[in-house]
Amino acid sequence: MRLFIVICLLFVPATARAAWLEASSDHFLVYADTREQDIRLFSQQLESYQAAMVAVTGSQDGRPSPSNRLTVYVVSNEAQVRKLYGEGAQYIGGFYIPRAGQSLAIVPRVHAGSGEIDGSMITLLHEYAHHFLISSGGAPLPRWLSEGAAEFFSSAAFVRDGSVELGRPAQHRAYELFEAADVTAEDLLDPAVYEKHRGKGYDAFYGKSWLLYHYLVFNKDRKGQLTRYLTLLARGKDLRTAGLEAFGDFQLLEKELDTYLKQRRMAMLKLPAGIISTGPVTVRALSTGAAAMMPVVIRSKRGVDGAGAKALLPDARAVAARFPADPAVLSALAEAEHDAGNDKEAIAAADAALALDPGQVNAYVQKGLSLLRVAQDAPDKVAAYNAVRTTFAALNHLENDHPLPLFYYYESFVRQGREPTPLALQGLRRASELAPFDLGLRMTLAMQQLRGGQRDQARRNLAPVAFNPHGGQLAEVAHMVLQRMDSEPEWKGNGLLIPEDDSAE
């Protein structure tokens, strides 16, 4: 279960509950319980935001394969967001999980309209900014810069004439900037100092990160300093040294930021409609069965542990019993069965879905994953792993640039204990190119390169993992690998276990 963004919107009119719809566009797949005009406007605004970021950053506007689009689930309120997030959700208003083939964002109810955007939309645009910036192939960013840039872009507005405004004053951060525990410029630019000052409560980190980023973008006297800062980091300078060399005295910078915050007016970027080029949005109604299965789908895509999978399975089976001839329902059932460890049942459900609709991509994925697990204990391992590869090859034929079949074709050789073929290695590299935001995938590629003696390439792929501010255990392991590569030039990564990447922002 990797890259995918679905937005499960709950735009619920006061008069009547609308039907579940699917809005499909170049970069997004949106599922919403709303009226057609609402989901269409919402999807168009997401595409306009994508186009505006391309215009501002000068990035390539690569169109992802259908399964590699952003899928966003928008649930009814923040309480549901926090329930889905799990432990540590006290201050979470929405979150994003980058996964090849199944990236997702979960945010509360969004109200799409012209002009000012609401808090839920800001949260979603913040998370998509992370996704966009990582996908653009840039170097790993320090936490303040990653969050400051996301805050900068998500402070947006969609004007009736089709223009888009970015970099507006972040009014949603006003309270924390004036009332929350203070965070200084030095705290942002030297994480060690921040950790010494950091309390257990809510502070102004996000707001101050936005302020510093906004100031560096628009202040003429500091033009070019942000680019110099990134260049110094890319050359291996530590965060504090790079900050001092690029921006000068931290105390002076702090005074300038304090003055800047108290200004009555601030600059912003306004992109006219003429440079906001977007493709069409296609809207269709979900089947009754697929709509009934949506609560199961959201929880499955978020990710469940063993106990959670077993608790969810009865719900999936109940819906499937009501709609036994709906391929979307059977595909979701296959995922629920696989997550619960029922490989035989998962394969049967996937086969049933594909018999009804050979284009059910998720059915191929779940069948392949279950076959991969079955192969570990199969009496005829050659035949079992060939069945895995056949399944993922069929999915690759259906959707050539879907990263998951490319990755799992490679993984099948690793699980079998065989040296990956050149074609499998090529597939792994291509999967990482298609899903650069999937740091677990990038870590796998880096370790394969290290084993193959490609140390420079391995370093380039390890760096974004090691410096990911939300990377958790995976980032710690990547740091350790980089340090060991420095201390043991002949080490090729043997004996290292790579943890699962379950980062959420």
What does the pLDDT look like over 102-137, one tens digit per residue?
A: 998 887 777 776 667 888 889 889 989 988 988 886
Per-residue pLDDT at 474 exceeds 80:
yes
The alpha carbon dihedral of 415, 418, 419, 424 has a sign of negative
Identify the top-confidence range among 98-107, 334-343, 435-444.
Answer: 334-343
**Local confidence band at 15 (pLDDT 50, 70, 90 cut-offs):** very low
Residue 31 phi, psi dihedral angles, 5° rounding: -115, 125
More confident residue, 180 or 326: 326
With CA atoms as reference, report the closest residue to 123 among 109, 141, 137, 144: 109
Of 89-93, 222-226, 267-271, which gets the smallest average pLDDT?
Answer: 89-93
The token pair that represents 81 in the structure block: 């967001």
Tens digits of residue pLDDT in 181-221: 899 999 999 999 999 888 767 789 999 999 999 999 999 99
Which pLDDT belongs to residue 121? Answer: 87
More confident residue, 203 or 406: 406
Q: 224: exposed, middle or buried (C-beta count within 10 Å: 0-12, 13-18, 19+)?
A: exposed
Domain definitions of the chain by residue range: 1-168+282-286, 172-265
The phi-psi region of residue 422 (left if phi > 0; otherwise alpha if psi is between -120 and 50; otherwise beta) is alpha
* DSSP at 8: E
Distance CA 115, CA 106 (A): 23
Residue 449 phi, psi dihedral angles, 5° rounding: -65, -40
- State what percent of residues in the chain have pLDDT above 90: 68
Distance CA 130, CA 127 (A): 5
Per-residue pLDDT at 11 exceeds 70:
no
What is the pairing mode between strands 115-116 and 6-9? unpaired
Distance CA 421, CA 413 (A): 8
Mean pLDDT in residue range 474-503? 82
**pTM score:** 0.88
Please give the mean pLDDT across all residues of the chain: 90
CATH number of 1-168+282-286: 3.40.30
Distance CA 221, CA 231 (A): 19
Per-residue pLDDT at 360 exceeds 50:
yes
Which pLDDT belongs to residue 114? Answer: 64
The token pair that represents 101 in the structure block: 């083939």
Q: 142: exposed, middle or buried (C-beta count within 10 Å: 0-12, 13-18, 19+)?
A: buried
